[in-house]
Chain A
Amino acid sequence: MTGTSNAKGSALREKKIVVRAIGDSFRKLHPRTMVKNPVMFVVEVGAVITTIQLLWNAAHHVVSVGFGFGLQITLWLWFTVLFANFAEAMAEGRGKAQAETLRKARAETEAHRVKDDGSIEQVPGSTLRAGDVVIVTAGEFIPGDGEVIEGIASVDESAITGESAPVIRESGGDRSAVTGGTRVISDEIRIRITANPGETFLDRMIRLVEGASRQKTPNEIALNILLAGLTIIFLLAVATLQPFAIYSHASQNIFVLVALLVCLIPTTIGGLLSAIGIAGMDRLIQRNVIAMSGRAVEASGDVDILLLDKTGTITLGNRAATQFIAAPGVNERELADAAQLSSLADETAEGRSIVVLAKEKYGLRGRDLSAHETNFIPFSAHTRMSGVDLDGRQIRKGAPDAIARYATEHGNLIPAEVQKQIEGIASSGGTPLLVTENRRILGVIALTDIVKGGMRERFDHLRAMGIKTVMITGDNPLTAAAIARQAGVDDFLAQARPEDKMALIRREQANGRLVAMTGDGTNDAPALAQADVGVAMNTGTQAAKEAGNMVDLDSNPTKLIEIVEIGKQLLITRGALTTFSVANDVAKYFAIIPAMFAGVFPQLGILNIMHLRTPQSAILSAVIFNALIIVALIPLALRGVRYRPVGAAALLRRNLLIYGMGGIIAPFIGIKLLDVLIRVLHWA
């Protein structure tokens, strides 16, 4: 979804979204839709009541309430509902635009199905069921989600991931999963289909981004209950105000009462709540993460512990040579030369890194050995060493104990100095390799895990969020500890087997902690399913993708940090706008209560601390402010309140100041300004 679109294109798309959202705002007025949002439903009912009253007044020539005033109140009440609907429609709009792109990828494909007798038939892709086997050749679209059972091919997955570089898919191992709607660009593969029509990854993704399968998340439900409770309280306060007013000989008309009610109930958060949720999911999708449920997004904000695989996540996938340490009496250059020669035919990443290090450090270039008599000795599990025989030089490198045995057979002992170096490298998390020439010990090559750049900062960041990081590795505890220290993780699990990972997750969960992890292999699947937030890599196996509750299309294991931030942002935005909404009510009381009773009890005018000009202008200003604040906060709802990893206490202080204090002060200013504006425009 990295668009090739230029700014003009995106502006055009934005405009399309806005236009559609405006239409949707009216469609959403249907009571069946509105009733899902109790707060806004009350506003709609209020608007209907004032509309009927307005028409009745007009028909019966009632003049006690000015028609203009009643009309303006009624219109602004409808606007309040429409603005809230617009916010939701805007949030949904982006998802819908994305869904359209995805739908194109799902366009009807032809599939070559392998029948039971081995013959091949051409069928529409939509008729494939789980268990069918199909053949896909270069240039064809993969007709459904499945697993490669035969062959290897490069696949263009840009329709799903937005990543234009093709990826390799092959049978067996952890790279066997393919997604429907992607295209094979070379070779031919046999695929066993694993999903029935309508249940494919693409289908699910479309439903998710469209918000069609959106269900309210647990916290959203709880917040809705709170808002409904507050609405009932205010409904009571306003409904009983009329008897009290009658007792005081100052009864009120229906416009004023409905206006007061709408101003008091938490319309700001009520109107923006679902937009916040949709926008949160949308932000994840923009970062190429597909969450299978909103529940998982919410849970990610609560994560206490992050489990990270060492290899590929914290360290680069392979170890690399970082140092040559010569034995006493040996020149370092001599060691480097021998090491490089022995590795020239070694195609492993470690072998290549030795060649590169020798070149970088001693300017030794890869030599053309075709003129010489060379015999490369490949690595074998039996000898645990490799090397080269070259013009009578027998160069070998390998694990210290293997080389030691090889050398000592001929009476060459390992110098104590070298032995100490070997131990030193091992204890600091590296892997020592011994190099010999003609069975004489030349020295040691240190292979070490390379911690990815910027990892320490990311872990510090997580720590500040209150999240503990645990590194999972198959290494021995000594090595694991060294890398953990180097990378800055809080803890590690060494010599971990899949069942150890499960046990760790269970133990932490039993202590009340929420665990997040990433994984890609089939053996990660149980742990991914057990974790509260399990992020599967898109390159991973089907089993892993199904076990996790999120899929990262970029297959970037550190994406979890961003996922956690998005989860937190989602919750903070809800809390901030709830606080703001409730705090707003203070000013609205000071606008409306004196206005209601100023006629009968001018003394109550002392509560009119904003010095609003007339009672009608005061009430109108409050209603207009209440409606406009929804529109004003749509960008914040869609973007989310920024999260800073500064610890809960500091974050709370900051947000309380902005949204709590700000929520009390802002409407005083806003209502006063609107009052002035209304006077200038002669509205009331």
Chain B
Amino acid sequence: MTANGWFQILFLLGVILLVTRPLGAFIARVFNGEKTFLDPVLRPIEKLIYRLTGVDEKREMSWPEYAIAMLLFSVVSLVVLYVIERTQQWLFLNPQKLAAVPANVALNTAVSFTTNTNWQSYTPETTMSYLTQMAGLAYHNFTSAAVGIAMAIALIRGIARREMKTIGNFWVDMTRGLLWILLPLALVGSLVLVSQGVIQNFKPYVTAHVIAPQKVTTTGSDGKPVTQVVSQQTIPQGPVASQEAIKELGTNGGGFFNANSAHPYENPTPFSNFLEMFLILLIPSALTYTLGRMTGSQRHGWAVWGAMAALFLMAVTVAYWAEARGNPEFSMVDQAHSTLQPGGNMEGKEVRFGIADSALFATVTTDTSCGAVNSMHDSFTPLGGLIPLTNIMLGEIVFGGVGSGLYGMVVFVIIAVFIAGLMVGRTPEYLGKKIESYDVKMAMLSILVTSFVVLILSAIAVVEPFGTSSITNPGPHGLSQVLYAYASTVGNNGSAFAGLNANTLWYNMSTSAAMLLGRFFMVIPVLAIAGSLARKKTAPPSLGTFPVTGPLFSVLLISTILIVVALTFFPALSLGPILEHLLMYAGKAF
């Protein structure tokens, strides 16, 4: 580990801390319907949208109405994307003449982008036309993020309101989230990325002649070695920058290219790398301030932020340490950091990012539900790979996905408040709202989804041949691959331990199910909590009230998260990454 590496990590956190307050306050204004500096431009557009769609912006919704509107919107969007994928060969903006996307891949992808997962079981540049990428995928990058923000805002309103039956209007929240927050930020972000060299064009793929042709030997279909001379290379093109900014900003993570943010056209420079991580954390971090602002307890918002920041630092420390330490198998090789080499375990990492920025990016992308990658998590050391996996298993609540991170965290807050709240001698209260059996039930349901899906699907996959046949590395690493695939899909992350061949019928179907369950079975109980809390009275704080502010609360929250999640996944992890780590130091690699 180097001072420079640590500086980059802390610098990112520092910049995020700086923008949390202004953006958080802005988001609160947007959803409270207060005046903002963008109103003169956006208000007419917003009104026009409502007039065209017949939305009455004054009409408030109860939580079931809100949930139904959200589901309706998601289902329609999903179907539209599926149709575009299946018909892209007849549509325009397809200079490569790519064929229709196969049915199970198309379904998997439609589910994946609708649920803000962006799990990609295909290679984008050889599968998706420019139209599909822009009208299908990029559209979802915006809307699925806006849905996430709307859900978080609905929950915050539920906490803040007293004795009310409604939690807002889904269509209005969606529209405002898109117009005021996502579009302006994505626009600025894209332009800055273009300045760094991210491409934006509709050109057909370029064929380049390589300077030094190479002989490549592969195994042919008949099992005999085939030797080819490679003298030219196809370089894919496309409207990358417009998709890149929202890919990070909306914590979507679906790359324009298979190599995702490791590809020079997506992420060319160290500054673009910093900017992408910044965009990933931007909205999730700001929403903690919005939580504090809208509920009238700014200190609570900061306590939640503090818990997130602490978990973030813990994770990045382990990941950075594990990767910088290198691979014990190469004991004869110099793996120390020097001016000539980054040192450590550089397998699957870009030289222009090095150890620190790769470990940091891996932490950022899995703390949130982004899933963009600038290095291959599959190639991390076992402990380094344990971090992204654990981050996802926590439920991606360390800043988390746009909106989903905050509501996931609030569910843990409710559990923490319920367990420890009793210890101050009152029935548990969260910001003046009594936490009763209905709220506990919904919170537990929401938490159960992740463990239920990850454990059961992984258990099936590791004993059935249709599951094990996709595992490319035997032993504990194979288990990690499977666990990662389901954690990533149920958590709507979308990154992968790429060693697993996920483009099979079983994995396309089971991960689709995981993504749908992970998104909607988690968010519906959350909306139910919002509705339940909104109906309650708010007890004013007194000396005897459970404090949800300050470092003590942050520590309590962190402990609750770690204990509940660790207890759920420790047995599985001990046979996966932990065992792999121990075996690696015993001289056995996978």
Residues of A within 8 A of B331 (CB): none
With both chains docked as a complex, state the minimum distance between the C-beta of B451 and any C-beta of chain A, in angstroms: 5
Contact with B along A619-639 (1 / 0, CB 8 A): 000000000000000000000
Which segment, of B152-160, B203-211, B412-420, faces chain A? B412-420
Residues of A within 8 A of B196 (CB): none
Which segment, of A154-162, A339-347, A547-555, A654-662, faces chain B? A654-662
**A388-446, CB < 8 A from B:** none
Q: Which of A222, A260, A465, A589 contacts B544 (CB 8 A)?
A: A465
Residues of A within 8 A of B564 (CB): 230, 233, 582
- Pick the most buried of B162, B426, B542: most chain A CB atoms within 10 A of its CB: B426
Contact with B along A33-53 (1 / 0, CB 8 A): 000000000000000000000
Q: A218 with B437: in contact, given A240-B572, A652-B423 (CB under 8 Å)?
A: yes
With both chains docked as a complex, state the minimum distance between the C-beta of B542 and any C-beta of chain A, in angstroms: 4
**A229-247, CB < 8 A from B:** 229-230, 232-234, 236-247
Q: Which of B162, B423, B425 contacts A512 (CB 8 A)?
A: B162
Contact with A along B202-245 (1 / 0, CB 8 A): 00000000000000000000000000000000000000000000
* Interface pair A301/B427, CB less than 8 Å apart: yes
CA distance A192 to B172 in the complex (A): 66
Residues of A within 8 A of B439 (CB): 222
CA distance A516 to B221 in the complex (A): 83
* Interface pair A243/B568, CB less than 8 Å apart: no
Residues of A within 8 A of B448 (CB): 229, 232-233
Q: A219 with B547: in contact, given A244-B458, A512-B539 (CB under 8 Å)?
A: no
* Interface pair A226/B447, CB less than 8 Å apart: no
CA distance A283 to B543 in the complex (A): 25
Q: A248 with B575: in contact, given A222-B437, A656-B556 (CB under 8 Å)?
A: yes
- For B572, give the chain A residue with the smallest CB separation: A244
- For A228, give the chain B residue with the smallest CB separation: B444
- For B483, give the chain A residue with the smallest CB separation: A244
Residues of A within 8 A of B570 (CB): 237, 589, 593
* Interface pair B563/A247, CB less than 8 Å apart: no
Q: Is B440 located at the chain interface by the 8 A CB criterion?
A: yes
Which segment, of A78-86, A474-482, A572-580, faces chain B? A572-580
Residues of B within 8 A of A236 (CB): 451-452, 455-456, 568
Residues of A within 8 A of B563 (CB): 582-583, 585-586
Q: Is B82 located at the chain interface by the 8 A CB criterion?
A: no
Q: Which of B426, B479, B578 contacts A302 (CB 8 A)?
A: B426
CA distance A314 to B572 in the complex (A): 63
Residues of A within 8 A of B162 (CB): 512
* Interface pair B458/A603, CB less than 8 Å apart: no
Residues of B within 8 A of A586 (CB): 563, 566-567
Q: Is B334 located at the chain interface by the 8 A CB criterion?
A: no
* Interface pair A575/B420, CB less than 8 Å apart: yes
* Interface pair B437/A579, CB less than 8 Å apart: no
* Interface pair A578/B571, CB less than 8 Å apart: no
Contact with A along B458-475 (1 / 0, CB 8 A): 111011000010000001
* Interface pair A466/B419, CB less than 8 Å apart: no
Q: Which of B422, B456, B572, B586 contacts A571 (CB 8 A)?
A: B422
* Interface pair B582/A604, CB less than 8 Å apart: yes
Q: A649 with B550: in contact, given A240-B456, A467-B544 (CB under 8 Å)?
A: yes
* Interface pair B432/A512, CB less than 8 Å apart: yes
* Interface pair B424/A652, CB less than 8 Å apart: yes
The tally of residues in B whose CB lies under 8 Å from a CB in A reads 70
Residues of A within 8 A of B566 (CB): 586
Q: Is A9 located at the chain interface by the 8 A CB criterion?
A: no
* Interface pair A647/B543, CB less than 8 Å apart: yes
Q: Is B545 located at the chain interface by the 8 A CB criterion?
A: yes
CA distance A304 to B248 in the complex (A): 47
- For A226, give the chain B residue with the smallest CB separation: B440
* Interface pair A569/B436, CB less than 8 Å apart: no
Q: Which of B420, B542, B567, B575 contacts A652 (CB 8 A)?
A: B420
* Interface pair B552/A653, CB less than 8 Å apart: yes
Q: Is A287 located at the chain interface by the 8 A CB criterion?
A: no
Q: A243 with B460: in contact, given A233-B568, A607-B574, A648-B543 (CB under 8 Å)?
A: yes
> Secondary structure of the B side of the interface?
helix
Q: A571 with B425: in contact, given A244-B458, A512-B538 (CB under 8 Å)?
A: yes
> Secondary structure of the A side of the interface?
helix
Contact with B along A269-283 (1 / 0, CB 8 A): 000000000000000
With both chains docked as a complex, state the minimum distance between the C-beta of B226 and any C-beta of chain A, in angstroms: 34
With both chains docked as a complex, state the minimum distance between the C-beta of B450 and any C-beta of chain A, in angstroms: 10
Q: Which of A221, A240, A243, A651 contacts B425 (CB 8 A)?
A: A651
Residues of B within 8 A of A597 (CB): 574-575, 579
Q: Is A606 located at the chain interface by the 8 A CB criterion?
A: yes
CA distance A585 to B571 in the complex (A): 12
CA distance A298 to B445 in the complex (A): 26
With both chains docked as a complex, state the minimum distance between the C-beta of B307 and any C-beta of chain A, in angstroms: 15
With both chains docked as a complex, state the minimum distance between the C-beta of B409 and any C-beta of chain A, in angstroms: 18
* Interface pair A568/B571, CB less than 8 Å apart: no
- For B418, give the chain A residue with the smallest CB separation: A226
Residues of A within 8 A of B444 (CB): 225-226, 228-229
Q: Which of B544, B572, B582, B585 contacts A647 (CB 8 A)?
A: B544
CA distance A304 to B458 in the complex (A): 50
Residues of A within 8 A of B459 (CB): 239-240, 242-244
Q: Is B583 located at the chain interface by the 8 A CB criterion?
A: yes
Q: A466 with B422: in contact, given A233-B567, A304-B539 (CB under 8 Å)?
A: no
Q: Which of B436, B479, B567, B583 contacts A601 (CB 8 A)?
A: B583
Residues of A within 8 A of B476 (CB): 248
* Interface pair A219/B455, CB less than 8 Å apart: no
CA distance A193 to B421 in the complex (A): 46
**B386-429, CB < 8 A from A:** 415, 418-428
Q: Is B546 located at the chain interface by the 8 A CB criterion?
A: yes
Residues of A within 8 A of B50 (CB): none
- For B426, give the chain A residue with the smallest CB separation: A302
Q: Is B559 located at the chain interface by the 8 A CB criterion?
A: yes
* Interface pair A466/B455, CB less than 8 Å apart: no
CA distance A626 to B418 in the complex (A): 24
* Interface pair B426/A601, CB less than 8 Å apart: no
**B532-557, CB < 8 A from A:** 537-540, 542-547, 550, 552, 556
Q: Is B435 located at the chain interface by the 8 A CB criterion?
A: yes
Residues of A within 8 A of B424 (CB): 572, 575, 648, 651-652, 655
Residues of B within 8 A of A649 (CB): 547, 550, 552
CA distance A593 to B582 in the complex (A): 14
* Interface pair A225/B425, CB less than 8 Å apart: no
* Interface pair A465/B463, CB less than 8 Å apart: no
With both chains docked as a complex, state the minimum distance between the C-beta of A257 and any C-beta of chain B, in angstroms: 10
With both chains docked as a complex, state the minimum distance between the C-beta of A590 and any C-beta of chain B, in angstroms: 10
Contact with A along B274-294 (1 / 0, CB 8 A): 000000000000000000000
Which residues of B are in contact with A by a Cβ distance under 8 Å?
162, 415, 418-428, 432, 435-437, 439-441, 444-445, 447-448, 451-452, 455-456, 458-460, 462-463, 468, 475-476, 478-479, 537-540, 542-547, 550, 552, 556, 559, 563-564, 566-572, 574-576, 578-579, 582-583, 585-586
Which residues of A are in contact with B by a Cβ distance under 8 Å?
218-219, 221-223, 225-226, 228-230, 232-234, 236-248, 250, 260, 264, 298, 301-302, 304, 463-468, 510-514, 567-569, 571-572, 574-576, 578-579, 582-583, 585-586, 589, 593, 597, 601, 603-604, 606-607, 643, 647-649, 651-653, 655-656, 659-660
Apart from A219-B427, A223-B422, A575-B421, list 7 A-B contacts with CB within 8 A.
A218-B437, A219-B436, A222-B418, A229-B448, A230-B564, A233-B568, A579-B419
Could you show 24 A-B contacts with beta carbons less than 8 Å apart?
A218-B437, A222-B440, A223-B440, A229-B440, A229-B444, A234-B567, A236-B568, A243-B458, A244-B459, A247-B463, A301-B426, A304-B544, A512-B539, A569-B425, A572-B422, A572-B424, A575-B424, A576-B422, A582-B419, A593-B570, A597-B574, A597-B579, A648-B424, A655-B423
The 7 A-B residue pairs with the shortest CB-CB distance, nearest first, are A466-B544, A575-B422, A568-B425, A229-B444, A466-B543, A603-B582, A222-B437
